[in-house]
Amino acid sequence: MDFDLTKEQQQLGDSIQRFVAREYAFEKRKGILRSEEGMSREVWAHLAEMGLLALQVPEEHGGMGGAPIETMLAMNGVGRGLLLEPYLASAVVATTLLRELGSPAQQGELFPAMAAGERIVVLAHDEPGARYDLTQVSTKATRAGDGYALSGQKSVVVHAPSADLLLVSARTGSGVSLFLVPWDAKGVSLAAYRTLDGRRAADVTLSEVRAGREALVGAEGAALDVIVSVNDVAIAAACAEAVGALEALLQTTVEYSKSRKQFGVPIGTFQALQHRMVEMLIHVEQAKSMSYLASLRSDEKDLQARARVMSAAKVIVGRACRNVGQEAVQIHGGMGMTEEFHASHYFRRLAALELSFGDTEHHLEKFALNSAEAT
Amino acid sequence: MDFDLTKEQQQLGDSIQRFVAREYAFEKRKGILRSEEGMSREVWAHLAEMGLLALQVPEEHGGMGGAPIETMLAMNGVGRGLLLEPYLASAVVATTLLRELGSPAQQGELFPAMAAGERIVVLAHDEPGARYDLTQVSTKATRAGDGYALSGQKSVVVHAPSADLLLVSARTGSGVSLFLVPWDAKGVSLAAYRTLDGRRAADVTLSEVRAGREALVGAEGAALDVIVSVNDVAIAAACAEAVGALEALLQTTVEYSKSRKQFGVPIGTFQALQHRMVEMLIHVEQAKSMSYLASLRSDEKDLQARARVMSAAKVIVGRACRNVGQEAVQIHGGMGMTEEFHASHYFRRLAALELSFGDTEHHLEKFALNSAEAT
Amino acid sequence: MDLSFTPEENAFRQAVRSFVQSRLPADIQKRTLEGRKQTHDDYKRWHRLLYEQGWGAPTWPKEYGGPGWGAVEQYIFEEESAAAGAPLLSPFGLKMVGPVIYTFGSDAQKERFLPRIRSAEHSWCQGYSEPGSGSDLASLKTRAERRGDGYVVNGQKTWITHAQYADYIFCLVRTDPKAKQQQGISFLLIDMKTPGITVRPIVTMDGGKEINEVFFEDVHVPVENRVGEENAGWTYAKFLLGHERTNIAGVAVSKRELRRLKHIASEERKNGKPLIEDPAFAARIAQVEIDLWALEITNLRVVSAEKEKRAPGPEVSLLKIKGTEIQQALTELMMLARGPSALGLLNDADAFRPAAAYCNLRKTSIYGGSNEIQKNIISRTILGL
Amino acid sequence: MDLSFTPEENAFRQAVRSFVQSRLPADIQKRTLEGRKQTHDDYKRWHRLLYEQGWGAPTWPKEYGGPGWGAVEQYIFEEESAAAGAPLLSPFGLKMVGPVIYTFGSDAQKERFLPRIRSAEHSWCQGYSEPGSGSDLASLKTRAERRGDGYVVNGQKTWITHAQYADYIFCLVRTDPKAKQQQGISFLLIDMKTPGITVRPIVTMDGGKEINEVFFEDVHVPVENRVGEENAGWTYAKFLLGHERTNIAGVAVSKRELRRLKHIASEERKNGKPLIEDPAFAARIAQVEIDLWALEITNLRVVSAEKEKRAPGPEVSLLKIKGTEIQQALTELMMLARGPSALGLLNDADAFRPAAAYCNLRKTSIYGGSNEIQKNIISRTILGL
């Protein structure tokens, strides 16, 4: 039992943190945030150069084939730097789906381009009203000629406006299948907007979108289990991102409390605030522990055991996001409310992470149910 | 709309507070607590003299016929003084049941004696495993000769060891009936013990206990609705008792924090504790508001509306009991843990009140259900 | 003790209700009830309609053109207005500077300002906070130097809600830099059109532009625009803080928002059933509903004491703390009720977007004296610590 | 990074498990698992059995007769012992005074005391707190005046767990009344049978008599019973506080108690079904289970750092805070699970009575440095505030 990183992992972690500190300073990020695309292609290319887009790429395609700890370190950095690029969506979720389900041809075509930062792929799965139920898929893919015709609605597909390809889930008979759909395919329309945390997202409408057989990812009707399973990988990554953001926000808050004066003394000398910052710290440390566990168990084969870990992690991390986010804004006072200052950006990202991949209540319930079944 | 007391109510309230301060000092109470019976007959007689045992007695029997505000004031005093006497059980619950259901003969016999403090009557209703479900009655009363034979189990009947008569609920056919059963009737056995808050209580076993027709209180099979309804009166009274105890405990805690020194200064100067005591105060004030409402609405005729008020009051008061009790002990430190010091006695009484007549979760759920039905 | 309203109070409620129902413009009502952003024009239109009814200054005494309502009538008015979807009236003129002027102002000030506040001709904003002094107000640095028949004001004020719409700003400024913190402060009424004033919006995290910084560069303010004595401004500021808190808990608006939360929870579905029927979510709604109910009674206790002409005491701090916690809980639950779709901020920025509301409402525990300051006040004045 | 145990560690766990299973007396095990009170004799019997196995001092280095286990082995030992229902060993000799003696004591002290702690011949108690000095330990007043070859001790200690069973007490006493607070304190080992010592039980609100006051009236203590230097006692006390915190979070015991909570919740019924299937109650159990799980990992992180010979830092304060919160939450839930029947304290005072346990466990956030003190420590040392 040890919590130590290998030397290589340590170096990777350091280089990510260095990159974030140097290339993703808050002022630079503001520019990216305000830009039309809401992400930086230059940063994306840089992440590719560092090899970070290949962590989920199979080794035979030059990647690391999963690498839970490395992914955790990358996500810590993404969280600390509040990166706006689709790392979680494309380099983690979509890449893992393609690793699990993609044909050799699909992998051969996509992985080099994705690892090089030249192609962005995003899963379009959630539908209006599905809430956190991954099994609720109403989009249909019916046989049409040699391939399929896809029709349906996908909601809040984060980063869809930047994606080259969408991985669209759709019902085929009794099962769910995945299809690679180019963003500009006929019949695809995106209603784009910003998310709470400033990312670009879209509701995607598919009207009789033609997809050839080569667009089918995995066997027909066999995608749902994998989507559910990759959701666990996403949770582990999201927890690691949250931990990066939580640590940064706590640090920011403590520093602010040391410099900001009221009644002639730094507000950090007020015991009531001190004790609340200690509570924040406890939340962060507990979140960190569960993030370790989630990452280490993200390739666990016992799916029920894994689901328990992920739900537990999401509950602890979710509560931490809520507590630390709200307290940080409160302690920053008016400054915490502004777009100008970084605290509110962390606050929003943490709130968004809590709402992603199942919120705290959802996972608490799931854990309780899972426990009852286990006993 | 006003929150003012009439002059008479003000005087009553004052006289109760004076009585408690003078005749129920903590050291004296310790003696009563340690006594075999766990209550003081002398105090009971004194309460009778003050007219407090007659608040629920009908006017034609020389009482006040209900008097919600007066009852609230009495219960405030009972709470502040941590009175160990069966005020709530006998003078409120049993008296109200007899007022609602008792025959003229029963009333004529019992009310003068109860109002004079010469007879104590206690409801024995709850059964093992019933939790907070008042409708769960397994005790049976079967016809036997001219009367009935009662058999069954009643659990945690507080003050049963001091009672002259038990008001026993039992199933008769499809309904529930109430019977007056002398404590020493053949077939009644009491397994007595102390409760969490130092009162005497008993599990009561009834084995073929004979009760004549004159022992039946109200029409056969018609008691359950009244028991449920009187439970609302009990909740209002318990909330008022809690408010008296909460106010006293908050005051005690604030005073202790002003006198107890650590690191050379009173602990009440530590801002973290100050803010927590403010939270306690907010709980107390919110509890007080809901206690007013519960008392004023305890004779409301719309039973669903009344149930909503009682559940809401019990939730607010229950949370206050938990928060203020726990924080008070914590702020008192080691002293708060001891039998010697009054804080722990308040803590225990507040915990007991939270568990009585439905706990916080029970009433939160009931309120939510009730709301759903109302919409 | 009686929590029911008198027949007179009920009749009053009925009168308010029918007025609001008949006169509140449907478009404004719709925006409020849907939680959409109100425009400055909405506020003004509604205020003018009230003015025409003689209710332009609902909290003022008759002497100054108010309807002379007591605390209970005011409470009923606010409750009915909020329930029907009327916009909240801007407090800066009506509840803040107005009472200061009619209590401490000169006859000329009363004559010039009060009618225009009442009629919605003048909009006001409040210049208290500064970058270095938020909760610690007395450390303010904006200077006003006496020069001839006026003051020359230099400095910066911040967190100023609706400064962009304001015709006037009331400001605390330092007129005697040598005096101790709370002395040496004066209370000025400044025309926002005076040269040297610059307003710069502060974008808040929900994308809103409600609040502003206001810069003063050699701004000339005639001496007749000072309220009361020079260097006695702190007294007026304290009066203002202690005044009119009938509605600080925001109970009436929260009751409306609770209804909206329930509406959202009945629209959303979980496990095939309306979310509002989910026991866990229903319990969370019940908890906030019960908290709000208790706060309403607590608020009525304070209002009732005001009716007896007892001045509202530090218990208003309690109303502020609990009131803002409930307001925040309501937006949080609306966001959680919407689930993952709350993430998306649809492009209609005026629409109700629960996540944006959740962000925006974080302000309530910060402004108007942060909840920490309120706790300090309660600790000192009620608990005697 | 790897959270699984090594094959060696797993083999060690197996060895501990089979030892505990084969040797733990059934009556003791039953009492623990049912939550009944343990007797002093229970502790002693179990300690002696461990001693016979060579495990009388599980946390000590080999040099002093310990098994020389590392932090992970110690953790595994505690976990297996608690899970199987073994009583916790008394910490006062093994985890507190023992390490002080072998680190700072004289050879004579080592020879005289260490073997007898290990063999359970001597029971110890801790004389730190005084009526006027709880969390503020350095303000202690008990005096020890040098007279000839010894000290004469006068004063009062309080909150002393198990003083009634103790053969020895280790005490902080003031030997130089003129020195500043933390100076002038010495560390004495005092035979409880010395004339002038009176033990008076303090009854706690659960009816328990675990804790005591100890009065010293002209108690003569030979100078060779002073550990280390005169007036340097604070150093040893601080060492002790910073030492051995592997188990401060109480994770192993809480895991056992969680199982008991689930057992109780499966016995109780609500709406005709086992309470454990009630979604609201199940969610509350789940929350504490998850908190405990996270704490376990956090604890392992600290243990793992200790393995690397890094000394445990202020993060043990975090373990203490969260650990006690969880312990308290567990008894609270057991009480709530029992519902109204929890009110009755059946006459068997040794039986598990959830309401009494709920009362008793309030102590955990007070003793061993209250949770407020722990927060002060974290604030100062980790956050740098």
Residues of C with active-site annotation: 244
D78-105: per-residue pLDDT in tens? 999 999 999 999 999 999 999 999 999 9
Which chain C residues are within 8 Å of A323, Cβ to Cβ? none
Confidence (pLDDT) at D139? 86
CB within 8 Å of D385: residues ≥ 6 apart: A254, A257, A258, A268, A269, A274, A277, D379
For chain D, residues with pLDDT lower than 70 are: 242-246, 307-312
Q: Which of B274, B282, B364 sits opposite C318 (nearest CB)?
A: B282
CATH-assigned architecture of domain A123-217: Beta Barrel (2.40)
CA distance D280 to A368: 10
- Best probe of the A interface among C331, C343, C346, C365, by most A CBs < 10 A, is C343
Q: What is the pLDDT of residue C281?
A: 97
Q: Which residues of D are catalytic?
A: 244
Q: Check whether C311 has a pLDDT greater than 70.
A: no
Q: Do D283 and C280 touch (CB under 8 A)?
A: yes
Q: For residue C243, what pLDDT band results from cuts at 50, 70 and 90?
A: low
Instruction: Please count the residue pairs, one from chain B and one from chain C, whose beta carbons lie less than 8 angstroms apart.
Output: 121
Q: How many whole angstroms separate alpha carbon D359 and alpha carbon B326?
A: 9
pLDDT at C138: 82
Report CA dihedral (C300, C305, C308, C313) to the nearest 10 degrees: -140
Residues of chain A with pLDDT > 90: what percent? 95
Comparing B10-19, B195-204, C344-353, D16-25, the range with the smallest average pLDDT is C344-353
The 3-state DSSP class for residue C325 equals helix
Return the structure tokens found at C190.
């400044």
Would you state the pLDDT for residue D112? Answer: 97
Q: Give dist(CA A111, CA D160) in Å, integer.
A: 67
Class at the top of the CATH hierarchy for domain B7-119? mainly alpha
The predicted pLDDT at position C246 comes to 64
The answer to whether residues C100 and C227 touch, using CB atoms and an 8 Å cutoff, is yes
- Chain D residues touching A368 at Cβ < 8 A: 279, 282-283, 285-286
Share of chain B above pLDDT 70, in %: 99
Q: Classify domain D249-381 at the CATH superfamily level.
A: Butyryl-CoA Dehydrogenase, subunit A, domain 3 (1.20.140.10)
**Confidence at residue B28, expressed as pLDDT on a 0 to 100 scale:** 96
The pTM assigned to this predicted structure is: 0.96
Q: pLDDT by residue (tens digit) across C69-115?
A: 988 899 999 999 999 999 999 999 999 999 999 999 999 999 999 99
Mean pLDDT of the B282-298 span: 97
What is the interface pTM, i.e. ipTM, of the complex?
0.96
Q: What is the distance, to the nearest Å, from the Cα of residue B241 to the centroid of all Cα atoms in its chain?
A: 7
| Cα of D149 to nearest chain A Cα, Å | 47
Going by pLDDT thresholds of 50, 70 and 90, the confidence category of residue A150 is: very high
Q: Which residues contact D341 (CB under 8 A, 6 or more apart)?
A: B128, B155, B156
Q: If phi over 0 gives left and psi between -120 and 50 gives alpha, with beta otherwise, what is residue B357?
A: left
Nearest Cα of chain A lies from the Cα of C218 at a distance, in angstroms, of: 26
Task: Mutation target for C interface from B243, B278, B283, B302: give the one with most C CBs within 10 A.
Answer: B278
Which residue of A131, A193, A235, A348 is the best one to mutate when testing the C interface, meaning the one whose CB has the most C CBs within 10 A?
Answer: A131
Domain D124-231 has CATH 3.40.50.300: no
Instruction: List the Cα angle C205/C209/C215 in 5-degree steps.
Output: 110
A289: chain D residues, CB-CB within 8 Å: 294-295, 297-298, 301
Q: What is the pLDDT of residue C133?
A: 78
Residues near D56 by Cβ (< 8 Å), separated by ≥ 6? D47, D50, D65, D118, D119, D120
Do the chains contact at C279 and D280, CB–CB below 8 Å? yes
DSSP state of C289: H
- What pLDDT is stored for residue D245 in this prediction? 63
- Give chain C positions within 8 Å (CB) of A333: 134-135, 366, 370
How far off is chain D from C384, nearest CA to CA, in Å? 22
Counting as contact any 3 or more CB pairs under 8 A, the partners of C are A, B, D
* pLDDT, mean of residues A213-234: 97
Mean pLDDT confidence for A8-13:
96
Measure D347 CA to nearest chain A CA, in Å.
Answer: 33
List CB contacts (< 8 A) between D284 and chain C. none
Domain range summary for chain C, segments of one domain joined by +: 7-89, 124-231, 249-381
Mean local confidence (pLDDT), A256-271: 94
The answer to whether B83 and B156 are in contact (CB under 8 A) is: no
Say what the pLDDT of residue D311 is. 61
Which CA distances in Å does D273 have to A318, B130, B134, D267, D270? 31, 12, 16, 10, 5
Cα(B75)–Cα(B52) distance, rounded to whole angstroms?
A: 10
Contact D385 A269 (CB under 8 A): yes
Cβ distance D279 to C283 less than 8 Å, yes or no, reads no
Give the per-residue pLDDT at C368. 85
Domain positions in chain A are 7-119, 123-217, 224-374
CA dist., res. D361 & res. B337, Å (int): 10
CA distances from A83 to A25, A76, A237, C206 (A): 10, 10, 14, 19
Tokens 């926002």 belong to C192
Name the burial class of residue C167, with classes exposed (0-12), middle (13-18) and buried (19+) by CB atoms within 10 angstroms of its CB. Answer: middle
Phi/psi for B151 (5° steps) reads: -140, 135
Rounded CA separation A227/C336 (Å): 24
- Contact between A87 and A52 under an 8 Å Cβ cutoff? The reply is yes
Confidence at C181, pLDDT banded by 50, 70, 90: confident
Tally Cβ neighbours within 10 Å of residue D273.
9
Q: Chain-wide mean pLDDT for chain B?
A: 96
Given this model, what pLDDT does residue D310 score? 57
> How many helices (H) does chain B have, and how many strands (E)?
12, 10
Task: State whether residue A204 is helix, strand or coil.
Answer: strand
Cα(A230)–Cα(A185) distance, integer angstroms: 26
Q: Please, are residues B283 and B298 in contact by the beta-carbon 8 Å criterion?
A: no
pLDDT digits (tens, 9 = 90+) for B313-370: 999 999 999 999 999 999 999 999 999 999 999 999 999 999 999 999 999 999 999 8
The domains spanning B7-119 and B224-374 adopt the same CATH topology: no
Give the per-residue SS3 of B275-309: HHHHHHHHHHHHHHHHHHHHHHCCCCCCHHHHHHH
Query: A239-251: per-residue pLDDT in tens?
Result: 999 999 999 999 9
Task: State the chains in contact with B (3 or more Cβ–Cβ pairs under 8 Å).
Answer: A, C, D
Phi-psi region of A341 (alpha: psi -120 to 50; beta: other; left: phi over 0): beta
D294·A2 Cβ contact <8 A: no
| pLDDT tens-digit map of C339-350 | 999 999 888 888
- Percentage of residues in chain C having pLDDT higher than 90: 83
Topology of domain A224-374, per CATH? Butyryl-CoA Dehydrogenase, subunit A; domain 3 (1.20.140)
CA distance A24 to chain B (A): 37
At B24 the three-state DSSP class reads coil
B196 in reach of chain D (CB within 8 A): yes
Using pLDDT thresholds of 50, 70 and 90, give the confidence band for residue C180. confident
Report d(CA B254, CA B45) in Å as an integer.
34
pLDDT at res. C38? 87
> For the segment A102-144, what is each residue's pLDDT rounded down to a tens digit?
999 999 999 999 999 999 999 999 999 999 999 999 999 999 9
Match 């225990």 to its residue by tokens: B348
pLDDT at A44 over 60: yes
Average pLDDT, chain A: 96
